[in-house]
Amino acid sequence: MTYRGEVLTGATAVGIRVGEGVVLAAEKRVTYGGYVVSRVGKKVFLIKDRFGLACAGLFADVQTISRLMSVEIHWYELETSRPMSVKTAAKLLSTILYQYKYMPFLSEIIFGGVDLEGPHIFVMDPLGSLIEDDYAAVGTGAPIAIGVIESEYSKDMSLETAEKLAVKSIKAAISRDAVSGDGVDVVVIGRDRSYEKFYQVIS
């Protein structure tokens, strides 16, 4: 749960890393102070077909972070004429978040992608703490989602199976978390291709 004054916002986002790539997913409901503001909020973002963000927290901050990273990665690659690695991009985001530590972005972030070293996902808090892991969940529905992932996850599973597991975990959170809901957005980043997809949740 994220707080700004007396305002509460929530969400559920997950990330899974397997040998073939990474899957990032989040539900679409946008809440503010206990009210549903929108049912079509986008909290998962694909950047340059190689990186992705899945976020939970204040919606304006989530959008700002995605725009900042898109610009910074594009600028770096223009200046250096070489692709940015996932770890470098994650460290860049971590530094940006820490620079705003006195007035932080109120969000939890899962950042992932695929580079020459392989797939990676990193988890970050609002101050930029950086942890690499095989899978993660953030937001108000995270305790439910992570339980589903932990029970079925395997490093050897296919990217398609990981996508289904990510969606299953978000759907489980939606069924029990009042501030999560209204469908699941997914970003899948593989070694050879990446794509975005939407799953309808029938309540």
Conformational region of residue 104, where left means phi above 0, alpha means psi within -120 to 50, and beta covers everything else: beta
Residue 152: half-sphere exposure toward Cβ, Cα within 13 Å: 17
Q: Indicate the length of the chain as a whole number.
A: 203
Closest CA to 51 of 115, 97, 96, 107: 115
Mark whether 64 is an active-site residue. no
CA dist 29 and 45 (Å) reads 15
Q: What is the 3-state secondary structure (H, E, C) of 134-164?
A: CEEEEECCHHHHHHHHHHHCCCCCCHHHHHH
Residues 98, 114: contact at Cβ < 8 Å? no
Residue with tokens 């291709």: 193
Q: Which of 12, 31, 80, 161 is catalytic?
A: 12
Residues that are catalytic: 12
